[in-house]
A and B are shown apart, each in its own frame.
Chain A
Amino acid sequence: MSSVSDDDFDKRGAGSIVDFIKLGAEDNDHSYDASVLMNTSDGFHCADYRLDQYAVDVADFSSQYGSDYSISYTATNITGKPRKYPEYGDFPETYAMRTYGEWWEKAPSSVHEIQPQNISKIPAQDYIVIYFEEYVIPEEIAIFETFNPGALIRIWAYTITKSWICLWETEKLCMPPLQAINKARRFSPQLKKGNLPTRTIRLEFNHSLLHYFTEIDAVLLRGRKVNIESIQRILDCYKSHQKCSIIRKLQQIHFRPNVKGNYHNHLREFFTNDLNEFINVLNRNTEVMKSNVTAEYSCKNIGFKDMPFEIILKIFSYLDLKSLFLVGQVSKSFYDVSTHPLLYSEINLKPYWYLASSDMLCTLAKRATVLKKLDLSWCGLFNTISPTEFKKFIQQRGDNLMCLRLDSCKILNASCIETLGIVCDNLKELSLRNCSTDPPLLNFSCLANLKNLERLDLFQTVIEPELMLTMLENNRKLKHLNLAYCGIAVNMDTVAHHIGQYNQGLISLDLWKSRFLSAAGLEALSKCTELEEVDFGWCLREVSLGDSLKKLLLNCTKLKKLFLATVRGITDRDVENIANFCSNLEQLDLMGVSGITKDRYYEILVKCRKLQLLDLSFCDNISSEEIAFWSRTFQVNIKCSHFPDVPNDIRY
């Protein structure tokens, strides 16, 4: 759409028209585009055979269970042919995401969405973008789900015209049907008819109803092969449609100025010579409509417009961003209200990741003069937003920013981070999940300026150890800290000592899969007496814990969530301590902990009365019947994924 600015006439329309077109460009609009393309390119030719392809590469993802350097549970496992299908079970050869169910939302560290009205009824929680080798017109997409199927909610395709099309969307979020539980599934939903070739597919997941981690083995894309000439023809055709929206509109009402060649001159000629005729045509078309409208309008005495400005503003504040842009098209007065800065104090573009662009950011910068919270997560894939534009935006509007979320954001480069550190010194919440780039963003050091942080989320983002320590030292008010899998260079024992010294008000701490945490670090953390949530999953490897866990549990009496997945050094005594000291515990993960006697588990169930979740997957000395029995007796959701033949959610 950027080429619109070629045209002199559209410039006057300023941002609003551009944005309207952008925001209004829904799936309908795309299918319309496609149909126009089909008609005008006189039915472009595509090869008459179908191609089955498996994914060859992963372009982007929001979350993975495995570590980057590993081949277990990582995103790249989704490529290639199915390795495990039709077997069912927890296989490391597949792609798994980090969360499932509502347990993370129930935990103390859960976050509220910014501008919640933007979020669709079935929000996406995670995504993965995969490449295939050849461009095809998609006819079938099959997902091979080998464990806990049913998380897929949307399929998008990135077409050759550089736009995203939603190929399929689930109607409502529902539990997977009973007969589908405990069976691997080849899921191929009915796709919307599309005519544009693609080789990039994006899958979106919502696992809030899942009983346990979902695992995906492979993705198959079946479609008609398109030859290169057709692709070129579609692109040419598309470009000509993009050239000038006015000309396109004129063509639609069958008024065709001759626009071959130098259309600027032709258009000028048209405006001087033929405009009157054109207006006549328009009037004839709209006369009927108009008469209806006026009749209706006259019988109403008080209109929406007569309401006080504040009321309209309040009403508009319930609108999502897309509607807000649309409503500005209604009239001049609506436009004035809809561009009011107060409506843009919180902006969340995550649900509109497929529309977010430099242009849009530019328009928003004009309106959001009192911006407080900004969420640009998931935006900027395939360079739709330029780092320069983002930097400009932050420089203009960043000084009041309290909350900034840039999860899986592809815009960031070193100088962006630098700008952030300099401008946004009031930030209370900073979320940079999954922002690692290759080469890594070495210039994180300017973030050391931040002094007021209460929440810092660096999940899956590589960070320098030195900077980490400075940040901890500077931000004494820190309440929530997520350092899960933030690179192997960080020595977590040092970090833990720093936390114990400077951040004793910490409420939640996530050190999942971080390296080099030992019993000494654990002991240092016991100074944070406010802790309600800790995740030590996959750290504390090959160490005997000694008394460190006991100390932590004794001091942190408020603990609601304790995750100790694969902390193999845990002994009977540690489990006994958990039972004795954690009376407030709601979630406990002991996955992969071996050598614990059955009675110790029982003791936990008896003594932790508030317990809701207990993960005992891959724990030995315990049978599925006992787990089922305990689950019923104590009304606790017990997971045991190593018994794939037994339903994973033995629910009370």
Chain B
Amino acid sequence: MHSLSWTTRVISRALRSGFSTLLETASNATANVNSASKQRPHFVSVVCGFPKDFLTSKYKPGKYGEDSWFKTSTTNADVLGVADGVGGWRNYGIDPGEFSSFLMKTCERLVHCVNFNPQRPVNLLAYSYCELLEQKKPILGSSTACVLVLNRENSTVYTANIGDSGFMVVRQGEIIHKSEEQQHYFNTPFQLSLPPPGHGHNVLSDSPDSADTLSFSVKEGDVILVATDGVFDNVPERLLLDVLKECEGVTDPVKLQMTANSLALMARSLSFDSEFMSPFAINARRNNINATGGKPDDITVVLATVAM
């Protein structure tokens, strides 16, 4: 609506003072837009993923099984996030996907609030965790989460990560930043949780403050992968790097989507390969657990490149 009012105003002014003004204003306007966007980077981002039981699960936007994701942007920030609901709650009659999905949806809404601070993504996690307590319906369960914010003002990415979801940044064929996996012990990541009443004392619950935070500046062409453990547990880092460096500087969302699709499919097929020495199996062996093959899990891939 606003652009309409703007154009109308411009056109009416132009009609009053000759058409040449219109041309001038218009060209000025486009020049302004160009110069403004030159200094301000943004994400070209795509999403792909699979729920663990692909055949039985119903498609819901923003969800792959118990995984959830969101991507959104405001005038001065682009935000990506993934969360992985902890599956153990199913035994208590709790849908583990609901917790992660609520967390991500609330993060997305909080980004559009007036007091959103792009430099503090951990606040997003903290506030959306608090928001759980404001719901009439008890939303119980627990989840890992990873949120990544591109602050356009200073081309810097700020991240917050709890648990074993994570991100990876690739520039000129090398991984320049990577999230640390936070675990209490093997296969038990840090997690935000809200246990049912009466179970409070024997449930692992980490406060949003325990999130790993990181900030780094990005350049045009950088590739950023944000994914849940379904990807990192099944695809070896070397393989990830090989795929990611192919799409450095790609700004065509269709091409990027194809890469994301192949990454997700790669993770999916490796997770069901019982012979493959997956990163998960290697980790298990380090912890004296004899395991081979991938780890079937929900898979979420959020892939982004930095464009100016």
Question: Which residues of A are at the interface with B, using a C-beta cutoff of 8 A?
Answer: 47, 49, 51-53, 66-67, 69-73, 76, 80, 90, 92-93, 134, 225, 541-542, 544, 565-566, 568-571, 591-592, 594-595, 617-618, 641-642
Contacts and interface: CB of A to CB of B under 8 A. Distances in A.
Interface in B124-152: 127, 130-131, 133-138
B257 to A, nearest CB: 27
Interface of B: 1, 4-5, 8, 106, 109-110, 112-113, 127, 130-131, 133-138, 196-198, 200
Contacts of B127: 69
Nearest to A567: B197
Given A71-B110, A542-B197, A544-B197, A92 B134 contact: yes
A92 B134 CA distance: 9
Contacts of A71: 106, 109-110, 113, 131
B206 to A, nearest CB: 16
A76 B5 CA distance: 26
Contact of B136 (A67, A69, A225, A617): A617
A541 B5 contact: no
A546 to B, nearest CB: 12
23 contacts: A49-B8, A52-B1, A66-B134, A70-B130, A71-B131, A72-B135, A73-B134, A76-B113, A90-B136, A134-B5, A544-B198, A568-B138, A568-B196, A568-B197, A569-B197, A570-B197, A592-B136, A592-B137, A594-B196, A595-B196, A617-B136, A618-B136, A642-B137
Contacts of A642: 137
A618 B113 contact: no
A177 to B, nearest CB: 27
Given A49-B5, A52-B1, A92-B135, 7 more contacts: A49-B8, A71-B109, A225-B5, A544-B198, A566-B136, A569-B197, A594-B196
A441 B147 CA distance: 37
Nearest to A52: B1
B140 to A, nearest CB: 8
Contacts of A70: 130-131, 134
Contact of B133 (A90, A134, A541, A570): A541
Contacts, number: 65
Contact of B138 (A72, A544, A594): A594
A290 B1 CA distance: 59
A143 B130 CA distance: 29
A51 to B, nearest CB: 6
Contacts of B138: 566, 568, 592, 594, 618
A71 B108 CA distance: 12
A418 B197 CA distance: 45
Contacts of B5: 49, 51, 134, 225
Contacts of B106: 71
Nearest to B2: A133
A52 B5 CA distance: 10
Contacts of A566: 136, 138
Nearest first, the 7 closest Cβ-Cβ pairs linking A and B are A72-B134, A618-B137, A70-B134, A568-B197, A569-B197, A592-B136, A618-B136
A69 B128 CA distance: 11
A542 B106 CA distance: 21
A379 B137 CA distance: 37
Nearest to A565: B136
A104 to B, nearest CB: 18
Contacts of A53: 1
Contacts of A73: 134
A93 B109 contact: yes
Contacts of A90: 136
A50 to B, nearest CB: 10
Contacts of B1: 51-53
A6 to B, nearest CB: 39
A92 B106 CA distance: 10
A54 B276 CA distance: 55
A443 to B, nearest CB: 27
A544 B195 CA distance: 13
Contacts of A594: 138, 196-197
Nearest to A545: B197
Contacts of A72: 131, 134-135
Nearest to A591: B136
A49 B8 CA distance: 9
A146 B258 CA distance: 39
Contacts of B134: 66-67, 70, 72-73, 92
Nearest to B132: A72
A90 B131 CA distance: 16
B241 to A, nearest CB: 39
Contacts of A544: 197-198
A591 B8 CA distance: 52
A594 B109 CA distance: 27
A67 B135 CA distance: 11
Contacts of A592: 135-138
A64 B143 CA distance: 30
B137 to A, nearest CB: 4
Contacts of A67: 134
Contacts of B109: 71, 93
Nearest to A54: B1
Nearest to A134: B5
A80 B109 CA distance: 12
Contacts of A617: 136
Contacts of B131: 70-72
Contacts of A47: 8
B90 to A, nearest CB: 16
Contacts of B135: 72, 92, 592
A73 B135 CA distance: 9
A89 to B, nearest CB: 11
Contacts of B133: 541
B273 to A, nearest CB: 40
Contacts of B130: 69-70
Nearest to A96: B136
A598 to B, nearest CB: 15
A66 B130 CA distance: 12
Most A CB contacts (10 A, CB to CB) among B109, B113, B133, B136 go to B136
Most A CB contacts (10 A, CB to CB) among B8, B135, B138, B197 go to B197
B184 to A, nearest CB: 21
A619 to B, nearest CB: 10
A71 B114 CA distance: 11
Nearest to A592: B136
Contacts of B198: 544, 569, 571
Contacts of B137: 592, 618, 642
Contacts of A49: 4-5, 8
Contacts of A565: 136
A594 B135 CA distance: 13
A548 B115 CA distance: 40
A67 B134 CA distance: 8
A641 to B, nearest CB: 8
Nearest to B138: A594
B74 to A, nearest CB: 13
Nearest to B102: A92
A225 B2 CA distance: 12
Contacts of B197: 542, 544, 568-571, 594-595
Nearest to A618: B137
A228 to B, nearest CB: 11
Contacts of A225: 5
A565 B136 CA distance: 8
A67 B197 CA distance: 22
A588 to B, nearest CB: 16
B135 to A, nearest CB: 6
A545 to B, nearest CB: 10
A78 to B, nearest CB: 14
Most A CB contacts (10 A, CB to CB) among B113, B127, B138 go to B138
Contacts of B200: 542
Contacts of A541: 133
Nearest to B105: A93
A571 B127 CA distance: 28
A544 B200 CA distance: 10
